[in-house]
Structure 1
Amino acid sequence: MKQMTVKELTSKVLKKEHVFIFDVRNESDFKDWKIEGKNFAYLNVPYFELIDGIEAVVDRIPKDQEVIVVCAKGGSSEFVAEQLEEAGFQNVFTLVDGMQAWSEHLHKAMVYEDENMKVYQFIRVGKGCLSYMVISGKEALVVDPSRFIDVYEDVAREEGVNITHIVDSHLHADHISGGRELAERTGAKYYLMKSEGAVYHFEPLEMHDTIDFEQVQLEVLAVKTPGHTPGSVSFFVNHKLLFSGDTIFVGGLGRPDLGGKAAEWALDLYDTVYEKVAAIADDVVVLPGHYASLDDEMNGAGFVGDTLGNIRARNEMMQNQSKEEFVEMVVQNANNETPPNFEEIVAINRGLKEADAEQQQELEIGPNRCALHHTH
């Protein structure tokens, strides 16, 4: 039986290839979260409807195209793929380890390089989360690391550098941070805002206007850039790159309603957008913590990011709104669907709760919902 890895499927997403996805999960799971590609076609029929045979769906599946059978963890898709092969389909693949593996794959993309630094973006394609590594001299800084810390350690080894600094832009609600564990493994300093309420040891970002190493100066944007959470910060690197966390996205702003204080936190978000960020030049490249659509937000260079000028021009919420208009728009646009399991994930990231690898995996399954408003 032919198998396809999540890395191979990611390549097809990025190249905008034509692929047919036969998803055999329950309809509600499929509607909530699926593998997205610009030229992907889909058929969703739950596995339990196929146990007695696939005759009912054979006419709905193309024979002249790659068909990738997808389930939650890989087992059900193998059963269905075998039946398709027996029915004469030549080009059928199963996705190895299913949506569980899709949720966890990180794709590395080059973002920026000059004589002082090199920057990689790690795209979690199945979840829309972004993390970064800034390399200068023999040191590296990691921004918003996922829990798959081996990936960052492997890149550091390949580059011949030591991870010396780790920053989280805020206390994440949709995924479990790898910051604390990566710091323990590497001896790096781990920075987070004290106002986010974490109960373990870290360097409070309130105590640092800048983090300097080798040829890099990372400015912690003046106390600070709240909006998504009370302690959200952005990081301005060498006056060229703005790691915006969940404050500014390529296609929107971070949602300030997860704490149940949409109007109050929207005022903070307004001050961030119209005072702090307004002072930053148009040619600075914004590198966010999430994206909603790879098709819309990945640029021609192959990473998620855009100049601040382009983002301002596209986003009506950043254009000449009064404070009252802005708050009203934020409250109206606040998405009622919260990130799945967000209270448990926040508790883990705060250090109030422990979860083993399997529990972490289960908690993170599903899409991210951290954006407030997307423009196209």
Structure 2
Amino acid sequence: MAVRKMLAKEVTDKVLNKENLFILDVRNVSDFNDWKIEGENFEYLNVPYFELLDGVEGILSKLPSDKEILVVCAKEGSSMMVAEMLSDEGIDTAYLSGGMKSWSEHLYKAKVYEDEDIKVYQFVRVGKGCLSYMVVSDDEALIVDPARFVDEYIEAAKEDGAKITHIVDSHLHADHISGGKELADKTGASYYLMKSEGAIFDFKPFEEHEKIEFKNIELEVLAVKTPGHTPGSVSFFVNKKLLFSGDTIFVSGLGRPNLGNKVREWANDLYNTVFNKVSEIADDVIVLPAHYADFDEELNAEGYIGDTLGNIRTRNEKMFNATREDFLNDVEKSASSVKPPNFEEIIMINRGVQEADVERKQELEIGPNRCAVHHTD
């Protein structure tokens, strides 16, 4: 029986369609517990590869006989070998092409919004929990919080008959490498970032551009900045209808202010942002964050991750109605958990202070998103 190669796109389709899938993950137990492919109807068996070197007979009774099994490892090699061993036993088996690295890098595009002025697309990085966006107006496109896979945005814009002319990053990302600088270099687009985030390359500082207007797009930088997750975090209000909230507001929580060792101080900034700035925004505005924590929970009926601000206020009522002291205590408690792995090196790369090749970037980004604060009960 031949072993089949399964692409990350096919796995993503199974997640979206809530299909059944049995995954045999042959990475170390700690790696599996920290980060795995998640689907609502997925089943799992985690057996480290080194335990299977002498054969797979010991796990055959734990595997289903009536469904295909997907074998997963970090890079691909180990899963191919185990998949072939299972296939020799007559089991219908596939392996994940490129392993968890390919899962971490796959993007899929979903349409979020369209009216007579603009079209908005969301790029979902399912394996990493990162979200980026393209806003198209006539023949120009704005990219929000791009990942490092810059050709995907260039191709998407081309499909819409548009050229990328503006790129914005809501903050200096700590869990993934930004594609903003490289995308700007490739397209000649204007790239905007807060000066206070410390980048050393050329960009247009938001401190000097509180409003960006082109074609039928009006992008407002909310009160210059909405600090909390990082000191220079900003949110973007587009055409008074869409709030690209970066890591300030999520569908199910708020950004974690724990990366600068000033949790209490930054949590206080986050409180002021939520209660003084965001409180003035209407309930029917659509919030589009830069990350999510739980795909199945946060994917809405329209097929993208986002919600109206009114629904988010209701869902996170405790946070949006807390006293300052309760809010600070709640955020401190949540922010004490694990920080994104390798975040210091990722920040240095995103600032332009340090360089890394593609392989190093892949290694740095491996692992889950850890940017959200969920209200604690």
Shared fold per TM-score greater than 0.5 = yes
Letter in 1 for 2:79: S
Secondary structure of residue in 2 paired with 1:94: strand
1:65 is aligned to 2:42: no
Cross-structure match for 1:122? 123
Letter in 2 for 1:255: R
Asked if 1 retains the 8 angstrom alpha-carbon contact of 2:319 and 2:375, the reply is: no
Measured in 2, the distance between the counterparts of 1:223 and 1:140 equals: 22
Secondary structure of residue in 2 paired with 1:41: strand
Aligned residues: 375
Secondary structure of residue in 2 paired with 1:57: helix
Measured in 2, the distance between the counterparts of 1:148 and 1:69 equals: 26
- Shift of residue 88 of structure 1? 1.4
Matches within 5 A, 1:359-370: 359-370=360-371
Candidates 34, 39, 61, aligned match of 1:32? 34
Secondary structure of residue in 1 paired with 2:83: helix
Measured in 2, the distance between the counterparts of 1:74 and 1:299 equals: 32
Cross-structure match for 1:228? 229
Asked if 2 retains the 8 angstrom alpha-carbon contact of 1:273 and 1:318, the reply is: no
Cross-structure match for 2:8? 6
Letter in 1 for 2:327: F
Cross-structure match for 1:267? 268
User: TM-score w.r.t. structure 1 length?
Assistant: 0.98
Asked if 2 retains the 8 angstrom alpha-carbon contact of 1:335 and 1:372, the reply is: no
Over the residues paired in the alignment, what is the CA RMSD in angstroms?
1.1
Matches within 5 A, 1:158-197: 158-197=159-198
Measured in 2, the distance between the counterparts of 1:296 and 1:259 equals: 29
Pair 358,54 (structure 1): closer, same or farther in 2 beyond 3 Å = same
Comparing 171-180 with 322-331, which one deviates more in the overlay? Answer: 322-331
- Shift of residue 319 of structure 1? 3.0
Deviations 1:40-91 (A, max 9, x none): 00000011111110010001010101210001111111111111111111x3
Cross-structure match for 1:43? 45
Cross-structure match for 1:287? 288
Matches within 5 A, 1:281-360: 281-360=282-361
- Shift of residue 317 of structure 1? 4.2
Measured in 1, the distance between the counterparts of 2:300 and 2:45 equals: 29
Measured in 2, the distance between the counterparts of 1:177 and 1:332 equals: 28
Secondary structure of residue in 2 paired with 1:228: coil
Comparing 137-146 with 204-213, which one deviates more in the overlay? Answer: 204-213
Measured in 1, the distance between the counterparts of 2:160 and 2:147 equals: 20
Measured in 2, the distance between the counterparts of 1:320 and 1:60 equals: 48
User: TM-score w.r.t. structure 2 length?
Assistant: 0.98
Identity percentage of aligned residues:
66
Structure 1, unmatched stretches of 5+, are none
Deviations 1:327-353 (A, max 9, x none): 122112214200000000000001110
Measured in 2, the distance between the counterparts of 1:88 and 1:261 equals: 57
